[in-house]
Amino acid sequence: MEMRTVLLLTFLLACSPVVSGQTANRPRFEELVRQFDYDAKVPLDVREVGRERRGGATVIDFTYAGARGGRVPAYLVVPRSGRGPFAAVLYGHWMMRGSPLRNRREFLEEALVMARAGAASLLIDAPYVRPGFVMEKDEMREAVQSSEVSRQQVIDFRRGLDLLLARGGVDPGRVAYVGHSFDAHVGAILAGVEKRIGSFALMAGLYADEEFVFDPENKDMVALRGRVGDEAVRAYFRDYAWDDPVHFIGRSSPAAVFLQYGRLDKPITEKMARRSFELFGEPKRIAFYDAGHALDSAARRERVEWLAQRLSLRRPDLKALARIPELK
């Protein structure tokens, strides 16, 4: 089970009526979306660490100033041939415990294939894996920290898009986002908040946290609510409504959304996945693969081909794509 799901369950287990919301009613979307406002005038302060040429692309290792403090480690992968402006892809990684690719390197090989097809890519580290991050030990504080991390990642991606567009050479009408698990959650919020992104490929994500917890067929959640009490659980979702993607996915239009799921991925059931799919705006697409939470090469190929079509790219090098090792 990945970090975000673990933190959600941990928080609910620790919940008590003491943390109940200040307001009885859910905030309006206009109030929720303001949680992700930022000052676009704050300097990006880009600092290059190094660069290398790799198979028709240049990989630039750099950092930029985060909107909420600290530095955002990033890769920029740009084509070495062809005439711009190029399409752009923002990549957000998963946070699977124990994976050596729970960082911006998860999609680096895919971004190189995309570069040869004519797209520039920005890959950033989530706050969890940035230098100096310290996980809260107290369960309650850890849960609040999780929501703050989600908000920070949304804003840092928006800042990253500012960076790409200010840099030049990027077509503002051809921008996509790819997010896996934790960053699929982030991407689902972005779909309602950031209208400069026209395509979203979201992998193995949960997009209706409250529905997940109150699903009567989910025995673990039924048992949890029996121990904690429904009101305490609902209080959490009132306080942190801005961190539940369900309030944003219905506003994904006019962007196109492609949801990818593994049939062997627990506890995300096909019923749950299809329910989330129904809530997104049009246009949208969903696909299932004989894979777990990491998905597989078939999902990668279908995602890249979808992106190439959406972004009007050259045909991707499918042989190179097939050589990328399966994610672990």
pLDDT in tens, 256-313: 999 999 999 988 989 999 999 999 999 999 999 999 999 999 999 999 999 999 999 9
Lowest mean pLDDT among 4-18, 53-67, 100-114, 190-204: 4-18
pLDDT at 213: 79
What is the C-alpha to C-alpha distance for residues 265 and 289, in angstroms, rounded to an integer? 10
pLDDT at 210: 77
pLDDT at 143: 67
Amino acid identity of 220?
D
What is the C-alpha to C-alpha distance for residues 278 and 90, in angstroms, rounded to an integer? 24
Backbone angles phi, psi at 324, to 5 degrees: -70, 125
pLDDT band at 138 (very low <50, low <70, confident <90, very high): low
Lowest mean pLDDT among 211-215, 224-228, 264-268: 224-228
What is the C-alpha to C-alpha distance for residues 178 and 192, in angstroms, rounded to an integer? 15
3-state SS assignment for residue 256: strand
Per-residue pLDDT for 253 more than 90? yes
Higher model confidence: residue 5 or residue 296? 296
Higher model confidence: residue 224 or residue 314? 314
Residues 69 and 149: beta-carbon distance below 8 Å: no
- CA-CA-CA-CA dihedral for 89, 94, 98, 100, to nearest 10: 0
Specify the CATH architecture of the domain 3-322.
3-Layer(aba) Sandwich (3.40)
Q: What is the mean pLDDT of residues 218-225?
A: 78
Distances in Å between the alpha carbon of 28 and those of 34, 238, 241, 248, 260?
10, 12, 10, 11, 29
What is the C-alpha to C-alpha distance for residues 256 and 162, in angstroms, rounded to an integer? 21
Q: What is the mean pLDDT of residues 234-241?
A: 83
Per-residue pLDDT for 7 more than 70? no
3-state SS assignment for residue 145: helix
pLDDT band at 212 (very low <50, low <70, confident <90, very high): confident
Over the stretch 19-48, which tens digit does the pLDDT of each residue have? 333 334 667 999 999 999 999 999 999 999
Prediction pTM value: 0.91
Domain ranges of the chain: 3-322
Q: Is the dihedral of CA 266, 148, 203, 34 positive or negative?
A: positive
